[in-house]
Structure 1
């Protein structure tokens, strides 16, 4: 099972809403960490996911953004007041366990489903919680002791697979290995692994920074037919890399390179909804703010994995 981890920013929520009809409801379980104080877009997204048969896992005590807190009560109550279905996911570490145990016990007493995001080896005995959790998410297997990870039931390993660079110009134009988690989770890597996840075509670092780029970089993932590994292709603009001018022209330059690569790479599925929109933009030679390509690449990534599963 695939657990894509998204932060509740505008384009991440839009990606989920637009691609949901293409996802396998019994294979894809989105995890959303809300980061905006205005929860209306989040609630709308959950509603659309529900309409398409998907019940998302929502981090009710986010670590970053406007809603960052160790207490899960407020956000959980806010969402629960609405007529939407979600699985509350509680972020758990050694510092906040005292604040969360009461809440977890209340969910258990009421017979409600929940999941856990375990941020580290928990020193306290949490067996009564992990045993009842629908899924227990860990971030990067190497951050946990072998013993702890292998004792977790219903374990999902979330990996930060995207090879982030400080500057777009530093991305390599040669496709890079992205992940084989869609293969190895069946082995599994830890004793009770039931699924895998990633942060799509970004990494797990939180940032609100943005702005005009000197080099436009577009990122697209694909599963290579010959070995079934996933790779990521970075398509870059090359004109005037020392200037922030003509972003629209640089976008078209990077998009031209991406489309040319796709046409030469049978493994890259051009029939996904996200890539079809890239093709439409390319034909119309139109330009969108760079958040739109990010959304399309996220849509393509989720649908690509869903199709494989």
Structure 2
């Protein structure tokens, strides 16, 4: 089972909604986690569309970044009894204790442990935990194996560069093989931050280069990532022209891909080039994210996960 960890940025939420609406992901093998950063209509609609369709989506009820740092009792979707909750265990014991009235109402809970010290607080979480999500480490596995509890691995597998133009020096690189070996490593599930990465930056700026990040399965079914980077990178002007340069490289590569790497998002990229349309960088990130989640869902389902 794959639990992609996303923030509540607009393009990430729109990616999740479109994947659901177009039936491009399967709940049997993929259940997203969203850490909200702002209370927006898109966030509410995305969450409710998943719950209304009975497709599991975990929302972090003690977010640590952005403007959505709310106490659990004020969370706008917690009036729903069918909500799936994720809890960041790096919170203080006092705040976690305040979550108990909400979490003790028979709701499904997914604790997320990033540091070994967070295990001290694990006794605050009620019994209806199906899975514990942890950063890699033998202490985590040892702790939960003694309690006979299921454990999933959480990693940041995206190698983030300081500038988009720097990806031109690493156009094709290893991304992840957790989907192949997480069972062998003693885990029941795996999770990552997709092509976004764990680091959170509030706001953005006009980039000198445009980079499109596309993951793909190689011949051994390892996940690799290609970075298609613009060539005209002397200043911040003409983002549409830069996008066209990067997009031409992506479309040329996609002509010969195998079925396992094909996706609805790649077809949309091809259509953008055919129509000479620049949709904005948010849409570019949305399509790259959709592509990753679609081919991962398809791979896991086809391989009996």
TM-score higher than 0.5: yes
Query: 2:27 maps to which residue?
Result: 25
Deviation at 1:148, TM superposition (A): 3.5
Describe the shift of the 1:166–1:133 C-alpha distance in structure 2 as closer, same or farther (beyond 3 A): same
Query: 2:249 maps to which residue?
Result: 257
For 2:138 and 2:268, locate their aligned partners in 1 and report how far apart those are by CA, in whole Å: 38
| 1:88 matched to 2:85 | yes
For 2:95 and 2:207, locate their aligned partners in 1 and report how far apart those are by CA, in whole Å: 42
Structure 1 SS opposite 2:287: helix
Deviation at 1:44, TM superposition (A): 0.6
TM-score normalised by L of structure 2: 0.89
* 1:217-258 Cα deviation digits (max 9, x unpaired): 00100111x21100000001112x121111111100100001
| Counterpart selection for 1:175 from 161, 168, 172 | 172
| Counterpart selection for 1:235 from 213, 228, 237 | 228
Structure 2 SS opposite 1:114: strand
For 2:214 and 2:165, locate their aligned partners in 1 and report how far apart those are by CA, in whole Å: 16
| 1:133 matched to 2:129 | yes
Query: 2:112 maps to which residue?
Result: 117
For 2:225 and 2:72, locate their aligned partners in 1 and report how far apart those are by CA, in whole Å: 36
Q: How many corresponding residue pairs? A: 295
TM-score normalised by L of structure 1: 0.88
In the alignment, structure 2 segments of 5+ residues that lack a partner are 301-305
Do the aligned residues in 2 keep the contact of 1:32 with 1:59 (CA within 8 Å)? Answer: yes
Alignment RMSD (CA, Å): 2.2
Deviation at 1:118, TM superposition (A): 1.6
Describe the shift of the 1:185–1:131 C-alpha distance in structure 2 as closer, same or farther (beyond 3 A): farther
Deviation at 1:207, TM superposition (A): 0.2
Query: 1:298 maps to which residue?
Result: 289
Query: 2:202 maps to which residue?
Result: 208
| Counterpart selection for 1:97 from 83, 93, 96 | 93
For 1:162 and 1:267, locate their aligned partners in 2 and report how far apart those are by CA, in whole Å: 24
In the alignment, structure 1 segments of 5+ residues that lack a partner are none
Q: Which runs of 4+ in 1 moved over 4 A?
A: 142-146, 149-152
Pairing of 1:62-77 with structure 2 (within 5 A):
62-69=63-70, 71-75=71-75
Deviation at 1:19, TM superposition (A): 0.8
Deviation at 1:26, TM superposition (A): 1.2
Do the aligned residues in 2 keep the contact of 1:60 with 1:89 (CA within 8 Å)? Answer: yes
